[in-house]
Amino acid sequence: LGHTMVEGPEATLWMFGGLGLPQGLLGNLYRYSVSERRWTQMLAGAEDGGPGPSPRSFHAAAYVSAGRGAMYLLGGLTAGGVTRDFWVLNLTTLQWRQEKVPQTVELPAVAGHTLTARRGLSLLLVGGYSPENGFNQQLFEYQLVTGTWVSGAQSGTPPTGLYGHSAVYHEATDSLYVFGGFRFHVELAAPSPELYSLHCPDRTWSLLAPSQGAKPRPRLFHASALLGDTMVVLGGRSEPDEFSSDILLYQVNCNAWLLPDLTRPASVGAPMEESVSHAV
């Protein structure tokens, strides 16, 4: 659990790290071929001859298709604690390179954050937590062309601190949609049912109340993916001892949540099992 999985070139998925039982922290890299329905463990080293990123969980990763395709990886929980290191894996040469963060930007050590690609131009870092620094409340953006991090002003109603949330990017509106997680609000941290949108061009946040129907229950350590104009939310945790197998649908164009009934005859296949800290 706490691993990452990103879509890669030629109908592949790439999974890294996580926490296994009884293995502990993992640093393995796997590729899944959708057409062959087969997992393959991939051996990747660093360009400088080193081993690449250390085993970790609750890190974040994003795929950028420019060039031959690359997976970017940031932070997470390692054996040495929460880290801020930033890596890029060339998916063709299978070589890792650690990207150095300039001293002009104080990138926090974070775990439970999200890293989301925006139009192949940049990566957006939202949320995260470490025992030393608490909740990360800043919005960081990595400019792919210049290879630099920036952290500017935010406007609107930004989340005051999140981890264990999910984020998807919607290209038509050039907006990031951030759901759930463990939220710090008014000196209290608790599971959140809130959905935020970030309009990327002007870095403006909005707290979205659904235009019809009710918003879902609090959800954290779930997984989300965007299919067309619909954000699909899978599993997660609602209460300390309550794990979910629900599927939630948020329709961007209608600003509405749907909770499909997967027990009806129209459903295909067996419902997913209750799960937490998974990846899609």
Contacts of 249 (CB under 8 A, 6+ apart): 230, 231, 232, 233, 257, 258, 259, 260
The pLDDT assigned to 116 comes to 98
In a domain, 279, yes or no: no
The pLDDT assigned to 106 comes to 86
Find the DSSP H helices in the chain. Answer: none
Instruction: Note whether 76 and 55 are within 8 A (CB).
Output: no
Per-residue pLDDT tens for 230-277?
Answer: 999 998 887 766 777 788 999 999 999 998 875 555 455 666 676 777
The pLDDT assigned to 265 comes to 52
The pLDDT assigned to 180 comes to 95
In a domain, 196, yes or no: yes
In a domain, 101, yes or no: yes
Dig out the tokens for 240 from the structure. 């300390």
Reported pTM: 0.93
The pLDDT assigned to 103 comes to 67
Which domain does 104 fall in, by range? 4-223
The pLDDT assigned to 105 comes to 84
Contacts of 176 (CB under 8 A, 6+ apart): 116, 118, 124, 126, 167, 168, 169, 170, 197, 198, 200
The pLDDT assigned to 185 comes to 79
In a domain, 251, yes or no: no
Return the CATH number at 126: 2.120.10.80
In a domain, 118, yes or no: yes
The pLDDT assigned to 237 comes to 86
3-state secondary structure of 72: strand
Dig out the tokens for 158 from the structure. 């930004």
Handedness of CA 34, 36, 37, 39 (dihedral sign): negative
Per-residue pLDDT of the chain (280 residues; tens, 9 = 90+): 999 999 999 999 999 999 998 899 999 999 999 999 999 999 999 998 888 999 999 999 999 998 779 999 999 999 999 999 999 999 999 999 999 877 678 899 999 999 999 998 999 999 999 999 999 999 999 999 999 999 989 999 999 899 999 999 999 999 999 999 999 877 788 899 999 999 999 999 999 999 887 889 999 999 999 999 999 999 888 776 677 778 899 999 999 999 887 555 545 566 667 677 778 7
In a domain, 172, yes or no: yes
In a domain, 245, yes or no: no
In a domain, 256, yes or no: no
Q: How many domains does the chain have?
A: 1
